[in-house]
Chain A
């Protein structure tokens, strides 16, 4: 079984993001990382390979040439080869465009299983996996906290509102990873040194016959309003009084 897994380059989620004077993100001194939810996907793919259920794990990223670093991280964790779909830095990319580009790679590589993070921690759109499902026509199991591959099916334990739900999807299938799926390994130094020698192909949107024409554009950034300081109430009576008369949220 061939597994395709995504690896998006995102701004380190621990960094406090600032805006510059003209209302754009100030990314001058930030670090970038492999999207943590994609990391769960990579770990799951490598575990499937170690369990003998996958033969090959291919990592795909859509981004500038800088995204090679995040592909190498996934290769250091144990994936076999990488594909970068390279786009210009100033290119607008919306979830549908990214899904189309990944679909282009799916058509070329014909994987039986496609693992994605449920969302990327930068824009938190949570759309690419589902859109890829529509484009490929494959079944999907989103928000996976558990994954088993058996007899041509993916059995996906999903986190849903109010609990969990299992779905059984015929392969080829799309699975998006949630944070309880596994505990990702560290890229070890032996893994890092091996990753250096693993193949990494660079493709363009043209190579995949995909026109980059985003329908969603970022028009500006704004910080959320600062929250005013809270108050400590003495007892429940005072709380109810304030909720009724100040906040006016109860009658």
Chain B
């Protein structure tokens, strides 16, 4: 049943193209994602066939890349729409899409030169190659500058050594954007490189067994003296920090959008169950005050998280930065998704706890979003840091 109680209007669909995009992605997701989500969660395997078919049927790769460069010329709001609509049905599938489209394609394009675009852009926007990004390490997550992966000059290029942790799409990826330090592991000078998985010295560690996001493969990437030719340096040597920080903003917005999608789905599931399906003591569940609190708060908080996410997306682009907005949206939306998914399970009672209903999967998936792309504690630190810089006398 279509539930039409979510806010509409120009904040959510700023143009006719945004509205058309939302309609197509929503229809595609309902028809294709819902039916495969449980199965791929159970076997913990990414549906790469569906991903390639999505490239043909929806063409939602290179969304934020300008049209003249071969992309679709849309904005952060379009990226938020796509992640929200896909995540309603399968957050784990959507996470792998995010790693490909936001962490690699958007990031790569903003730092790449003409030759690199010529060599890589088409492969990652037509569905031929699956991509990802490697930042975190076994001993350095939110504390990115603590990374120990290094490059040292060798001939006309570099040798890459180190281990990256929690890398989405690792087991299937063809190409990765890799951050590394220039020689000195205690220094602050970061560079970024395009590294292909077929290169000598590149290997993938054991696949992680995770609580949620099970369709999306996560593993270590191990670089053992991998040779990187000069033409695969992204941007300038030692200058990767700006690009990294810039990309974290749209990453956090799209992770917030995934959380919004989960919260919307959870609100719809609990509402439908309490209003149309389950009766107790001769009345629908929705007639009971305790359940009304679940539904009422789920709706209000999801609407709030959604409005904040789209508001932050309005002022996020490669040229207009909004770290405060992205951090605020991620903090609110991820917290909301966890709470609403949890209360949906409570509303469904025993059924909510079984795998027959999708709520237990959505809750397991939601928790990653409070950790990945910067923990919620890092968002609190960043928001305070931004405010300190703005108002300190």
Inter-chain contact B2/A186, CB cutoff 8 Å:
no
CB distance from A9 to the nearest CB of B (A): 13
Is A12 part of the contact surface with B, judged by Cβ < 8 Å?
A: yes
CB distance from B56 to the nearest CB of A (A): 8
Is A193 part of the contact surface with B, judged by Cβ < 8 Å?
A: yes
Interface residues of B in 49-77 (CB under 8 A from A): 57-60, 63, 67, 72-74
Given contacts A12-B2, A72-B16, 18 further A-B contacts (CB under 8 A): A15-B4, A30-B4, A73-B20, A73-B23, A186-B24, A186-B58, A187-B20, A188-B57, A188-B59, A189-B63, A191-B59, A192-B17, A192-B20, A192-B21, A192-B24, A193-B17, A193-B67, A193-B73
Is B278 part of the contact surface with A, judged by Cβ < 8 Å?
A: no
* Interfacial chain B residues near A190, Cβ < 8 Å: 59, 72
Residue of A14, A15, A31, A188 with most partner-chain B CB within 10 A: A188
Question: What's the count of A-B pairs with C-beta under 8 Å?
Answer: 58
Is A22 part of the contact surface with B, judged by Cβ < 8 Å?
A: no
Is B307 part of the contact surface with A, judged by Cβ < 8 Å?
A: no
Inter-chain contact A196/B17, CB cutoff 8 Å:
yes
Residue of A nearest to B63 (CB): A189
Residue of B nearest to A69 (CB): B16
Bound Cα distance A189, B67 (Å)? 12
* Interfacial chain A residues near B1, Cβ < 8 Å: 14, 16
CB distance from B205 to the nearest CB of A (A): 35
CB distance from B254 to the nearest CB of A (A): 15
Is A29 part of the contact surface with B, judged by Cβ < 8 Å?
A: yes
Bound Cα distance A191, B24 (Å)? 11
Q: Secondary structure of the B side of the interface?
A: helix
Bound Cα distance A192, B59 (Å)? 10
Residue of A nearest to B125 (CB): A190
In the complex where A69-B16, A69-B19 touch, is A189 in contact with B24 (Cβ < 8 A)? Answer: yes
Inter-chain contact B2/A187, CB cutoff 8 Å:
no
Interface size class of A (residues with CB under 8 A): 20 to 34
Inter-chain contact A76/B2, CB cutoff 8 Å:
no
Bound Cα distance A191, B59 (Å)? 9
Is A185 part of the contact surface with B, judged by Cβ < 8 Å?
A: yes
* Interfacial chain B residues near A33, Cβ < 8 Å: 23
Residue of B nearest to A196 (CB): B17
Inter-chain contact B74/A189, CB cutoff 8 Å:
yes
Q: B25-64 CB contact bits vs A (8 Å, 1 = yes)?
A: 0011000000000000000000000000000011110010
Q: B199-243 CB contact bits vs A (8 Å, 1 = yes)?
A: 000000000000000000000000000000000000000000000
Cβ-defined partner of B60 (8 Å) among A15, A29, A189: A189
Bound Cα distance A187, B63 (Å)? 15
CB distance from B156 to the nearest CB of A (A): 38
* Interfacial chain B residues near A12, Cβ < 8 Å: 2
Bound Cα distance A191, B60 (Å)? 11
Bound Cα distance A190, B23 (Å)? 14
